[in-house]
Amino acid sequence: MRAPQKALSKELVAGLNMNGAKQMHIFTSYRLDSSMRLSCMKLMVSIVLASFQLFAQVQEPQVQMRREEQTMKNLIFYRTAQIDGLSIFYRESGPKDAPTILLLHGLPSSSRMFEPLFTRLSDRYHLVAPDYPGFGHSDWPDPKTFAYTFDHIAEIMNHFTEALGLSHFTLYMQDYGGPVGFRMILAHPDRVEALIVQDAVAHNTGLGENWKTRRAFWADRAANESALRTNLLSLATTKSRHAGNDPNVERHNPDFWTDEFYFLNQPGQADIQSDLFYDYRTNVDSYPKWQAWMREKQPRLLVIWGKYESSFDPSEPESYRRDVPKAEVHIVDGGHFALDTAADEIAALVQGFVGSSRQGSAERRAG
């Protein structure tokens, strides 16, 4: 009986040994398969990472190029042009093949007042803003030898646009930009695609109560010269052009009016500004011609008006609408120099207006 048990035990042991070997082989194979799979995964990850690195290396120059192009579009250039024997300073920005906006400044500012629009719109428009003779960084010829009249300044500005090759543009006019711009329009109406008026007057009713002293100056310059200079060129008046009757004066940067007041007190400036303002009376005489042109031509017109404007009468925006019933009229949260506090709103209005004006012009040409 013991012999068969012993044989059975040997067979059992042998079977167990065989099963153990198979299990060991399976376990070993599993470990090898797992190791291979892990190696494959590592290889795939390395390939993917290398591909991303290669893609980034290829794309980086293109991204950098686009970044540089965008920077160039937003870069403001400060240039001069020789016009009629004078050095005319101007700011320029944006792609030259984009729609052009010519911006004409007011008193006693310069092209500097348009910097907020340059930083917001030069990625899509070609912006050009000159300083008039006697203003900003342009030449200040002696009034004894140079006629400071709006006719003369408009003539020089027309020559300026010709020198820069500006054959078609939207005209943006603020304050003195109105009388300069309307003269440019009547001389070359084919150049102007649309008008933007920001706190500029083209109607006699638009001259408010503080123009009594100024009208007296026009009637008798010698008797009213001193009063006019106080009324027009004082620090208080310079400040009021910016802050107006805004109850929140703290949001207005005082550098604007202190810089302008410093400019007005430079040698020769009082005489220059008095001569030019004495010629302002010719603007009043020209208002009917400008109004007649608007009523006849019905130009694309955007009127922007600061609700705290203190230099002109608040009825003026609606006077424009009577001349051009389809005019866009917007009252913004600012004063005479509304870009001080309403730059974002004004930039959005300009962008929408110029875009629609260009589309309308293209459709009219196609028709």
pLDDT in tens, 290-313: 999 999 999 999 999 999 999 999
CB contact set of 240 (below 8 Å; sequence gap of 6+): 310, 311, 336
Task: Calculate the average pLDDT of the chain.
Answer: 86
pLDDT of residue 13: 41
Kindly tell me if the per-residue pLDDT of 112 is higher than 50.
Answer: yes
Tens digit of each residue's pLDDT (9 = 90 or more) over 18-38: 555 545 454 445 454 556 666
- Range in 4-18, 66-80, 107-121, 271-285 with the lowest mean pLDDT: 4-18
Specify burial of residue 80 (Cβ count, 10 A radius: 0-12, 13-18, 19+).
middle
Q: Which residue has the higher pLDDT, 72 or 42?
A: 42
Q: Is the confidence at residue 269, as pLDDT, over 70?
A: yes
Look at residues 126, 129, 124, 100 and name the one whose alpha carbon lies nearest to residue 114.
129
**Region 233-237: what's the mean pLDDT?**
92
For residues 279 and 176, give the distance between their C-alpha atoms in angstroms, rounded to a whole number. Answer: 12
Measured CA to CA, the distance from residue 192 to residue 354 in angstroms comes to 12
Q: From the CB of residue 157, how many other CB atoms can be counted at a distance below 10 Å?
A: 23
Q: Is residue 74 pLDDT above 80, yes or no?
A: no
- Please determine, for residue 247, whether its predicted confidence score (pLDDT) is greater than 60: yes
Q: What percent of the chain has pLDDT over 90?
A: 72
pLDDT at 326: 98
End-to-end CA distance of the chain: 119
Residue type, 269: Q
For tokens 């150049």, the residue is 191
pLDDT reading at 6 higher than 70: no
The pair phi, psi for residue 195, each rounded to 5°, is -120, 140
What is each CA distance from 15 to 8, 21, 27, 196, in whole angstroms?
10, 10, 18, 101
Contacts 24+ apart (CB under 8 A), 48-51: none
Residues 6+ apart with CB under 8 A from 71: none
**pLDDT reported for residue 124:** 96
Name which residue leads in pLDDT, 60 or 252: 252
pLDDT per residue over 126-176, tens digit each? 999 999 999 999 999 999 999 999 999 999 999 999 999 999 999 999 999
CB-based contacts of 328, cutoff 8 Å, min separation 6: 301, 302, 303, 349, 353
Residue 5 banded pLDDT, cuts 50, 70, 90: very low
CATH 3.40.50.1820 fits 76-366, yes or no: yes
pLDDT at 361 over 80: no
Distance of CA 272 to the CA centre of its chain: 29
Q: What are the structural domain ranges in the chain?
A: 76-366
